[in-house]
Structure 1
Amino acid sequence: MPQNPSEEINALLGEGTEFEGKLSFGGKVRIDGSFTGQIRGEGTIIVGEKAKVEAEIEAGMVMVRGEIRGIIKARTRIEAYAPARIFGHLHAPVLVFGEGVIFEGTSHMTGDPEKGDRVKTAIPP
């Protein structure tokens, strides 16, 4: 999963950790454990390969390798790479899905097609 190394992770929910509730954040947050609830922030949420998230998510960008169930709203983009599993509703101007991603649900492109905002598919390396 492409990442910007200059952008530090501000918070981490590690593997084997469980959290239920509301998460508000700025910057970059990585979830490798289990999260149930609401996530709201201006920055980036990274859902790691072993993560299980059941939530309503609103963020600047959402990057997924694990499992998400719920509603995901991203201001800039949602990226998903194998072995990601997404079950729910997606809202973003840009959607990027790598080969092997499982997606069941609906997607709504919130961008403007006139400006070139459209669904993009990642090409395997």
Structure 2
Amino acid sequence: MFKSNKSGSGKINPDTTDTLIGEGTIFEGKIKSEASIRIEGTIIGDIMSSGDVIIGENGVANSNMIARDLVLAGQLNGDVEARGKLTICATGVLNGNITAQSLIIESGGIFNGSSKMAASPAPAAQSQKELKATS
């Protein structure tokens, strides 16, 4: 009845979307996912994703959120930690504080809160590897 993970690695690709909260659906509770999440309905509860989170134009999230990248075309009420890029589309509304490496707000997008730009961890890690290699 259920398909097993045939890759053998046990890892889920964070570039795939395996969770969809559809339009007309209201979900209450926490979500933790290794893959990406798309929200077209309403979610009330915290979200943690190793992949991306996409909130569609009709999507509403009353959530604190941690994700790789976030694309917001709907409404989000809560704090966000994006390890990569946070994009607020022209139809997007974010009420909350954010931490991200990159922030894009399209014309018409609304952001009410404070922002903190996080430094990219990759260059620092790369520098440490280079230092060890030359020692």
CA offset digits 1:60-118 (Å, max 9, x no partner) = 11110000000000111111111101100010010011111011111111126xx8xxx
Aligned residue number for residue 28 of structure 1: 36
How far the C-alpha of 1:11 sits from its partner, in A, is 1.2
Structure with bigger gyration radius: 2
Structure with a larger share of its residues in strand: 1
CA contact (8 A) 1:38 1:55 kept: yes
Aligned residue number for residue 102 of structure 1: 110
From 67, 77, 88, the counterpart of 1:80: 88
Q: CA RMSD in A?
A: 1.3
CA contact (8 A) 1:94 1:111 kept: no
Q: How does 1:20-99 map to 2 (within 5 A)?
A: 20-99=28-107
Amino acid at match of 1:76: G
CA offset digits 1:5-44 (Å, max 9, x no partner) = xx54211100010001100112221000000111002100
Q: How does 1:1-12 map to 2 (within 5 A)?
A: 7-12=15-20
Normalised to the residue count of structure 1, the TM-score between the two structures is 0.81
Structure with a larger share of its residues in helix: 2
Normalised to the residue count of structure 2, the TM-score between the two structures is 0.75
Amino acid at match of 2:67: A
Gaps of 5+ in 1: 1-6, 116-125
Aligned residue number for residue 118 of structure 1: none
Aligned residues between the structures = 107
Gaps of 5+ in 2: 1-14, 124-135
Within 1, Cα distance between the matches of 2:49 and 2:17?
14
